[in-house]
Structure formats: C-alpha cells, structure tokens
Structure 1
C-alpha cells in the first residue's frame, strides 16, 4: 500500500493545482465580471476595476486635457499659442479601453492566469494609440508662418508663335516641416503644455527641369492647315473654342489620346453655338457645328506624324474642308477620334486659329520624324436620284428644284511611311437625292371674241343750252 504513496501524492498535488486554477478562473469570472482586471492601466491612467465604458470615459477625459493644453509655437520672431485640438489633433479612447478589458480574457487558460497574476502583482500598461493629425487643418492654421517663403515652381515647356521651344527651369521651394516640427506634440505624455519651434525643409517641384528635358521635344514633326469661312460667325466661334481645348496638349509615349475626352461635350453650357451639322444624313443646324473640321485637321496632322490611329469614322455625307477619305467625324458619346503616341518621346499639340484658317502642329523629337505622304483614290462616284412631287400651286409644265442633290463617293485612303504603303480606310459617302416640284395646276380659261357683234345705238342729240343774257354795263363813276 505504501509503495504507491508517491503516485498518490503527485496525483493529489495535481488535483490541488487544478482546483486552484479553477478557483482562479471562477474568481475572475465572478469578482471581475464585466470589469477590467485590477493592475491594468492605459499609459499612467488607472483603469482596473472599471467597466470598458467607464475606462473609455476616463481615458477620454484625460485625452481632452491633452488636446486642450496650450502649446507655444514659434518661428523666427513670430509666436502663437494654440491647443492640439485647434491644430487638428485627435486621439482614440475606445481602442485602449478595449485592449485593457481583454487582459486575462483571451488566449489559453495559462495565458489568462499569467496575465491576471502579472496585473495583480506588477502592472500591465496598455500604450495609447498614436495621435492623429489633420494635415490640412494644421497647414491652414499655420499658413501665416509660410508667408514669404519661396514656393516650388514646376519646370514648363513653352512654344511661342514662331515655334521656338523654351524650357522654363524648375525652382526648389521652402516649406514648414510638419512631421519634424510637430513630432513631440504627438507624444501622449505629461506635461501636456509645451513649446515648439517650427522647422523648415526644402520642397521639391513636382516637375523638374530634367523631367522636361527627358521628354525629348525639340521641334515640329508634322503640321496641317484647313480653311473656313470666317464670315460664318457661329461656326468660326465653335472652331476656335474646340481648337483652344486642344492647344498645349502633352501626350506621353504609349498614351492613347481621345478627342471627345479632351474637348468635352459640345453643349450650350460649354459655350458652343448653333451652326450646320450632319444629323441623320442631313445637313441641319445644331450645337457645335464646325467641331468636325477641328477633329479632321487634327486627324491629318496625326497621320502626317506617323502616329497610330485607334478610332476614326468618316462623315456620312461628303465634306469639302479636307480631301475625301481624310475627314474624322466626331459626336460626343457616339463617334470619337483616338490615336496612340507610338513614338519613344512625348508629343505636344499646338493649335493656331487665324482669320479663316486653322493650323495644327505636333512637336516631338525630330530624330523620330518620319517621311509621310497621304493618298486617296475615288473608287466610284454615285449620282443622286431625282425624286419628284406634285405641286398644285405650280402651273402644269413648270418645274422647280426644291433641293439640290449631291453625289456620293466610295474612297480608299492610304498612308505611305518611309516608302511603305499602308491602307488607312475604306470610306463611303452617301448621295443625297435631288427633289423637284412638278406643277399640276391647270391654267384658267380666257374670254374668246364674238365674230358678229351687235351695233350699239347712237345717242340722241341733246338740245342746245340757252345762252345767258348780257349783264348791263355799269354807269361811269364821277371824276374827281
């Protein structure tokens, strides 16, 4: 019987240990149900024995003291006193309260017991979350400290009316270094009041001189001009407005350009006016008339630069401002002109509107300029049909052309690049019928002469009227 005594003692010890563990678990569950274990604090704030909500409230009150404490900010001879709250600082009280509540309540049983014991006999310190800063608010409040400082200036590419290219160099600026200046204020520690001196740093421009130089733009690689009637004021205005939207467009290598995206919708709100457009295969007044001349001018300029066309449509009716087969119809949300910059350098579009002329130029790296020519072939001419309609108000035998017809065409366009000919497009332009009014009105009957007219009776002679009697001669007046 005594031989098994060590085993019994071991089993007894294990049993006692299990009882102690169970007792601890029961004690924690009962004594601190819904409360934070004693000995837990957030930074220096004691939260043991509190519910999670009570802990959050206590932490929040201390944080409000932290956010409202005055801070002296100096820069050179300027000084201002503000609180962290006014500077846009904020801090979260909920998260540390949740972390404090979880002490002794998560993980394995042994971990829970060790955390609880450690909190009782030593201390468990929960760090406060990082202080957050509203950068925009800080910059707005401290804007006065930035007055007089040099702002960074981006490098710019300038092309004048003589096609001279100039690079305006970039400049480095100076700005308040908020990260360094406000770093100490972000520490949640006592004392809350403080004093800082703003630090400054160099601020680099977004576009450097080297960035512009790396674009490789050094001259013209293509240009094209079309003519328009300057006396048509609304159409001329629309041409100038769309051309202005295209002017100074920079396109990166590999980038796809969209005419509609760049120019935008042709609406009255955008400033466009009513002029002749093509709608449902008919020339009619509409907003934005003339914009297709801008897209067609750009299309020819792009073709001559050797760029890749990804989307283009011809008009349904023949137009005259560019050769047939070389037009580009655009309609916002329906038809677009798109091309890709397949060169290794950037390209830059310039537009020039003169009195009755529109010129577009594409600038790029002249070393990549190609020998390009364009060719169009009229495969067939389609004569218009003549349709007639009766006109009851027009005399029979008379005709009037109400609508002049127009011929249609089938045209093939080619581009020859460095001697290599490639098909560009097959184009169909509809003919428009000629409409003729034919008179159906019968002429009215005219009166016919009588071959045996009856003689008219002669009028009876009237008796002569009596002659008046002569008046008596007056008696002579006496002489004086």
Structure 2
C-alpha cells in the first residue's frame, strides 16, 4: 500500500520540482537581469541584451555625428539661411531613451512582466531618440535673421516754411514674427523641411493722411523788441529757433524749459537784463521770457490747454498785464498740452525786431476763434519812504529807488463762433507787486537865528568867560528804509 502511494506521489513531486526549477530559472535568467530586454531598439538601433552604459555608447557612436551633419533651411524671398542643428543647440536625449528602454517589462507582477517581455521579444519595440534644443540659441539665430530682414517703418514728415505746408510720404516696414518662427524651428527638428520666414508688416505711427489734418493757422501772436540790445535780441532769436518745428500730438504735453534745455553761454546765450527781486539786472538769457510770452498768447488763441504758467513779478511792456508768461530755469516754466484730436505744429520766426509764433492745426475742427481780455481790477499806489543819512548834506533829498504801482488783474478767454460768445472762462488772476519809492535825505536845516556876538569887555580883573549856549540838535526821524523781500527771478 505504501509502495503504491509512493509511486503516485513521486511523479507529482518531480513535476512540482520541475515547475519550481523552471520558474526559478526564468526569474533569474530572463526577468531579473541587469540588461535591456531583447527586442528593444532605440532609434532603430538594437540595444537588447545591453547594459545601460553599453546602450549609451552605441547611441553616441551612431547618432552624434548626425547632429553635426543635419541642418534646416530658412527662406525669405531670395535670402536663404542654412542653420545646422548644432548651431541651434540641439542634443539627443540619450539618458531619457535608455531609461525608457531599460524600464520596459520591469513593472507589475512576475507573470505580467514575463508576458510583456515575451511580447517585446516576439514583436519588437522601437523607442524614439528625442532632441533637446536650446531656446536661447534659437532666439539668437532669429535675432540675427531679424537684423538682416527687418525694416523700420518711416513716419511721414511735415515741415512748414513761409506758410507752405510740405508733407512727405510714410514708408511701411517689416519685422520677423519671432514667436511663429521659433515654433516652426522647434517643430521642424525631426522633419528638417525648408521653412518660410514669417513676416509681419510694420505700419508707421504717423502717416501723410494723419498730417493732412494740419492745414492752417489756428492761433498766432507777435511781439516786438525794437528797443532791445543786440544781446537780448540774440537770446530771443535763439530761443525761438529752439521751438520752431515742434509737434504736439493729441494728448501730448510740452515744457518750454525742457525743449530749450540749459540757458548757458556755451549754448550761445548772452547777458541781457533779467528781473531779480523786482529789478532789472544783467543775467544770461535775458529776453527768453519774451519768447515764452509770445508763445503763450499764441497757444491761448489756438485753444491749447495751459498746465503751468507764471506772471512776471513786475509789469512788462510788450504785452498787456495778465497775459505774460515768465520762465526761469528750475523755477518757472510754461507747460501746455494738446487736447485737440489733431496734431499741432509750432512755427516760430524772428523778422526784424519782431518775434512771431503760429500754431498750425485743423481749421475745420477748430471752427471758432478765441479772444483774450485782461482787466486791471485794482491798482495799488506805491508808498514813499525817506531814509535819514546824517552824513548827507543838510536839507538834501536824493532818489535811491524808483517807486512802482502794483496791479491786480484778471484775464478771460472767450470762445466766439458765428459772431456769438459760446464760452467764457477766467484763465488767470495775477498780482504785480508795488515797490516803494525810497529817498535818502540829509539832516534838517536849523531855522533858529544865530546869536549876535557880544562886544568884548574892557580888560579888568580876569573873570571867567561866559559859556555860549549849545545849539539844539535836530531830532532824527524814524528810519523807514527797506525793500520788499522779493525772490522772483524772470528772464525778462
């Protein structure tokens, strides 16, 4: 009985031992191995049965030269740019491909892995060898192409001479569409087809049609400087020239001081009278306030927006009170803005001893006129002060400082259309300070008669002579001297 049982069990044991032994062999010799499984290729190169290092060495030896040899062509009209993959910073991603090849069949349970391994061995598997590309090098190449192909657009130009308006044609430009070209290059790494360089047309900002809206004078003003010195006349000419031809586009602002720049002798300006503390004294740039004042009035008549303006500290003689515009570097400025929907052109010129400013714009849009009116609302009479100088000649009276009346003004702007006022606006309220007249006076002259001399007495016994009375000293009046603390400086 025992023999019979043994005969039954023994074959089963042998069968189990075979199964276990076979499984152990498969696990150790076909599954748990440190090489890439058979049937796996990378970029059509068989790496089955190789270690990672062996596969890496094979790929580098067979594919690295390919990068040096391959290139793509970028075309634009008759221009061609042959760009090698090496110049684009292209590199094969060997490590990623080898890692993917090695991991095939190594995930899941033993029986699942074994099935995958056998399927790969039977049917094969080819893993692509992908590229890495340097985005920085691609951008550099596109920049180089752009420098060769790009054409900057040219704005139309306008110039007004002697009342003649001349406008040149604008020119279209072109630019490489860098974003589109970059995508095309990256996507073409595998195909290496010829690429047509994408171009965007670049429009100029200012066209001839745009400048055609400057079609006539919308405001003009002139002042004269007949009695000015040649130095002052030079400064007016120089400052006017610095403003001639300036253009303000809709919404743009301008600063008189910024446009002219530093007022120095090195830039051609000369000494001429300027107003400091209410008095005229020599200074560099005297006269440029007449330029700014003339421009200011032209701007008002052109209905431009004045954002900063200051009156002189004393009245000036070339415009009505309340319509002047003083400037002083770093202190007083004339600033203005173009709130029209069309560009304006500043035309400045000096003819003889007159300075002219003409503001050109769209006369169809500005279909009204502007009138400026300044009113003196108060006159402040100056005071007279006398300062006693004990050393001066008795009874003398000498003028030391001229007196000047002060004024308060209000200036109004009227818009007139078809002979009717359509808008009234007060644009300024100014105060021109008065200045005291100051005299230096000597001591008062005494009106008391001198005492008659007494006859000398006949000699007798020596007696003590009588002491004559001392004359009464005149009392000094109060010292009311002084001047206004006026820090104003104007380049009159």
Give the TM-score taking structure 2 as reference length: 0.58
SS in 2 for 1:302: helix
Counterpart of 1:422 in structure 2 is: 425
Who is 1:169 aligned against?
Answer: 169
- Aligned 1:6-155 pairs, distance under 5 A: 122-130=127-135, 131-133=138-140, 154-155=155-156
SS for the counterpart of 2:130 is: strand
In structure 1, the partner of 2:235 is 238
Match of 1:331 among 325, 328, 333: 328
Contact 1:325 1:412 in 2 (8 A): yes
8 Å contact from structure 2 (residues 371, 415) kept in 1: yes
Matched residue, 1:311: 308
- What residue is the counterpart of 2:472 in the other structure? none
Contact 1:351 1:361 (C-alpha < 8 Å) held by counterparts: yes
Distance in 2 separating the partners of 1:241 and 1:62: 70
Measured against aligned partners, the alpha-carbon deviations of 1:384-426 in whole angstroms (never above 9, x if no partner) come to: 2333334466422222222222221111111111213221211
Q: Secondary structure at the match of 1:220?
A: strand
Which of 273, 278, 283 pairs up with 1:276?
273
Question: Residues 453-472 of structure 1 correspond to what in structure 2 (within 5 A)?
Answer: none
SS in 2 for 1:245: helix
Contact 1:395 1:439 (C-alpha < 8 Å) held by counterparts: yes
Alignment partner of 1:370 is 2:368:
yes
Deviation readout 1:123-147 (Å, 9 max, x if unpaired): 452331242337776788x69xx9x
Mark the CA change 1:139 to 1:124 in structure 2 (over 3 Å): closer, same or farther. Answer: closer
Deviation at 1:362, TM superposition (A): 0.8
Change (3 A) 1:252 1:433: same
Q: 1:126 to 1:177 in 2, by over 3 A?
A: closer
Aligned CA distance change for structure 1 residues 342 and 197 (closer, same or farther; 3 Å): closer
Show the counterpart of 1:346: 343
1:212 aligns with 2:211: yes
C-alpha offsets along residues 15-47 of structure 1, whole Å, 9 cap, x if unaligned?
Answer: xxxxx9xxx9xx99xx9xxxxxxx999xxxxxx
CA 1:123–1:90: 2 relative to 1, 3 Å? closer
**Which string of whole-angstrom CA distances, capped at 9 and with x for unpartnered residues, describes residues 311-342 of structure 1?**
22212222122110001122333322223323
Take 1:63 and 1:228, find their aligned partners in 2: how far apart are those partners?
83
CA displacement 1:225-247 (0-9 Å, x = unmatched): 01114752332222222212221
8 Å contact from structure 1 (residues 90, 133) kept in 2 = no
SS in 2 for 1:395: coil
Q: How does 1:291-310 map to 2 (within 5 A)?
A: 291-310=288-307
Residues 75 and 307 of structure 1, relative CA distance in 2, 3 Å threshold:
closer
Change (3 A) 1:101 1:429: farther
Instruction: State the alpha-carbon separation in 2 of the partners of residues 340 and 346 from structure 1.
Output: 11
Distance 2:435 2:67 in 1: 80
Distance 1:425 1:64, change over 3 A: farther
What is the distance in 2 between the residues matched to 1:386 and 1:371? 45
- CA distance in 2 between counterparts of 1:113 and 1:276 reads 96
The equivalent residue for 2:467 is: none
Equivalence for 2:112: none
1:10 aligned residue: none
Conserved 8 A contact 1:155-1:167: yes
Q: Secondary structure at the match of 2:359?
A: strand
SS at match of 2:291: helix
Deviation at 1:156, TM superposition (A): 2.1
Instruction: For CA contacts below 8 A with separation 6 or more, give which structure has more relative contact order.
Output: 2
2 CA distance for matches of 1:278 and 1:63? 82
Taking a change above 3 Å as real, the CA distance of residues 249 and 440 of structure 1, as seen in their structure-2 partners, is: same
What is the distance in 1 between the residues matched to 2:278 and 2:199?
Answer: 65
Q: 1:333 to 1:324 in 2, by over 3 A?
A: same
Aligned-partner SS, 1:397: coil
Aligned pairs, number:
371
Indicate conservation of the 8 Å contact 2:413/2:424, yes or no: yes
- Gaps of at least 5 residues in structure 2 are 1-26, 36-40, 44-51, 55-60, 109-116, 447-492
RMSD: 5.5
The answer as to whether partners of 2:167 and 2:211 remain within 8 angstroms in 1 is yes
Q: How far does residue 352 in structure 1 lie from its aligned partner after superposition?
A: 1.0
Q: Retained in 2: the 8 A contact 1:259–1:336?
A: yes
Structure 2 counterpart of 1:413: 411
Cα deviation for residue 92 of structure 1 reads 5.8
